[in-house]
Chains A and B, each alone.
Chain A
Amino acid sequence: MVKVRFSSAIQAAANNEIETTVEFHGNVEALLKKLVEKYGENFKKRIYDDQGKPRRFINIYVNGKDVRFVKQLNTEIKAGDVIDLIPAVSGG
């Protein structure tokens, strides 16, 4: 099982669930597909841009590590991992 947490506007796209657990192994890209199966078309439209890539204002973390510092969408996820989907907002 892996745990996925959603924050603010992304939570709203995931039936307003703050977190969920899914039976899963594979990479980040496959996990997003799995979440689309779970939350449906609306979630898909929110998460992906017109080119079918995850939107640039979504930050994805695996166990607190930004996947841009690992292997982006190819980052592997294993049982027990915690994945966070958080809108990119920050400032000193």
Chain B
Amino acid sequence: MTKPSKLVCKECGEEYPVELRTACEICFGPLDVQYDYEAIGKQVTKEKIAGREKTLWRYIELLPIENRNNIVNLHPGFTPLKKADQLAKKLGLRELYVKDDTVNPTYSFKDRPSSVAVSKSVEFGLEAVGCASTGNLAGATAAHAAKAGLPCYIFIPADLEQSKVLSAQIYGPNIIAVEGTYDDANRIANLAANKYKWGLVNINIRPYYTEGSKTLAYEVCEQLGWQTPDRVIIPLGSGALLCAINKGFNELVKLGFVYENKVKICGSQPDGCAPIANAYDGKSDIIPIEKPTSIVKSLAIGDPASGPEALKIINESRGFADSPNDLEVVEGQKLLARTEGIFAEPAGGVVIAALKRKVEAGEIDKNERVVVYITGNGLKTPDVLFGKFPEPTRAKPNFEDVDRAITELKRKGSK
């Protein structure tokens, strides 16, 4: 097996061995895992990959795990890329796909970074794992910890949806609900990681963690017959996901698996927490937001650590950043469900809303091949939809009354 070759500071270029390290020692910048692409290119072929397990571990040479025995495998990834013809027709697009990551083991894309980071924590011999989370990462990390047999410590903002908390609690982690924002939970998790030497996946395991998410680029290209899309739309929280997907496209170019990365990389955040989109609109630096206000709690990161890098990628790729409001988000969730039969969480609504807005504004060419990343399952956040639908039509338990109800529904013009 080939091994990752080094960590490189994205800011100043300082190099480090592949070790437990949160940030650059010189400038405190984020670290990037790099590989020997020439060696990997000699070993791995598209044909070889095609025959492998249908999980993200099919790209093992491009993931930072050195010994296969350390993999904690809940079978994440290799989720379907669904041609979205109904939605495309509705919007007047020719070729639209949904990368459906709602069907991961814990129902969000966070199983990708979490699987790599927990496996790497096992490889480092750490005694416990955990994370700071806006909700989805909590469940993903707790499930992987359970499978690895490791204690798990999770830091969440106290106002998180009960259903999200519950979907982590079932795996038995220790959860600390910090009475503040996600950024408060994150700051405190950082101090805890430093004191207790745990593997907090998105904090001190972060360089490895983000590697898991780049498989979302590999899979889309592989599923398109090793071609890149023209445009992708990605939900933005910290911006790490968007940066990882862009890295994935670039790596496939390095390996010669795709010809070039001309993908227009676009991001979307809810307008109640849109520091990256605001900076895009105002052509300014990113100004953090102290108190996010949005129903899209999974994206409520006011101080996005990967924001500057994400913004640069969006600008250089000639993509866009957009920020629909909460009403548009719910409409986006409904539109996706009612055209494609996919129930996304609000983060998916944020993406669909941006797609709709930008098609209507004429900023997306009708002939482009577009992929939207739907990264979380709607069943994890039913709260946002309570009261959004009319009550089911009631009837007595006899056919006459039910028939009356059917006539009533038809009269109201229901399909």
Contact = CB atoms under 8 A, between A and B. Distances in A.
Interface of A: 5, 7-13, 18, 46, 49, 55, 57-59, 61, 64, 66, 68-69, 84, 86-92
Given A66-B290, A89-B23, 20 more contacts: A8-B190, A8-B194, A8-B204, A9-B23, A9-B25, A10-B28, A11-B194, A13-B25, A18-B195, A64-B187, A66-B183, A86-B187, A87-B190, A89-B22, A89-B305, A90-B304, A91-B206, A91-B301, A91-B305, A92-B240
Contact of A92 (B110, B193, B288): B110
Q: Main SS of chain A's interface residues?
A: mixed
Interface in B11-42: 11, 21-30
A70 to B, nearest CB: 10
A56 B240 CA distance: 17
Interface string B333-368: 000000000000000000000000000000000000
A32 B193 CA distance: 24
Interface string B190-212: 11011100000011101001100
A88 B27 CA distance: 11
28 contacts: A5-B191, A7-B191, A7-B193, A8-B190, A9-B23, A9-B24, A9-B28, A10-B28, A11-B194, A13-B25, A57-B23, A57-B27, A57-B30, A58-B28, A61-B187, A64-B184, A87-B190, A88-B28, A89-B190, A90-B303, A91-B301, A91-B305, A91-B306, A92-B110, A92-B133, A92-B136, A92-B237, A92-B298
A90 B288 contact: no
Contacts of B204: 8
B329 interface: no
Nearest to B136: A92
Q: Which interface residue of B135, B191, B290 has the most chain A CB atoms within 10 A? A: B191
B29 A59 contact: no
B278 to A, nearest CB: 15
Nearest to B306: A91
Nearest to B200: A89
Contacts of A13: 25
Given A58-B28, A92-B133, A9 B22 contact: yes
B28 to A, nearest CB: 4
Contacts of A87: 22-23, 28, 190
Contact of A7 (B11, B136, B190): B190
A68 B30 CA distance: 20
Interface string B113-135: 00000000000000000001111
B370 interface: no
B194 A90 contact: no
A7 B194 CA distance: 6
Contacts of A91: 202, 206, 209-210, 237-240, 301, 305-306
Contacts of A59: 187, 303
A57 B30 CA distance: 8
Interface of B: 11, 21-30, 110, 132-137, 180, 182-184, 186-187, 190-191, 193-195, 202-204, 206, 209-210, 237-240, 288, 290, 298-299, 301, 303-306
A64 B239 CA distance: 23
A53 to B, nearest CB: 12
A6 B24 CA distance: 15
Nearest to A13: B25
B22 A8 contact: yes
Contacts of B184: 64
Contacts of A55: 27-28
A91 B22 CA distance: 13
B173 to A, nearest CB: 16
A16 to B, nearest CB: 11
Nearest to A7: B194
Given A89-B22, A89-B206, A91-B238, A57 B28 contact: yes
A49 B136 CA distance: 36
A84 B192 CA distance: 12
Nearest to B297: A92
A8 to B, nearest CB: 4
A68 to B, nearest CB: 6
A89 B307 CA distance: 11
Given A9-B22, A55-B27, A66 B303 contact: yes
B133 A89 contact: no
Contacts of A18: 194-195
A66 B28 contact: no
Contacts of B238: 90-92
B183 to A, nearest CB: 7
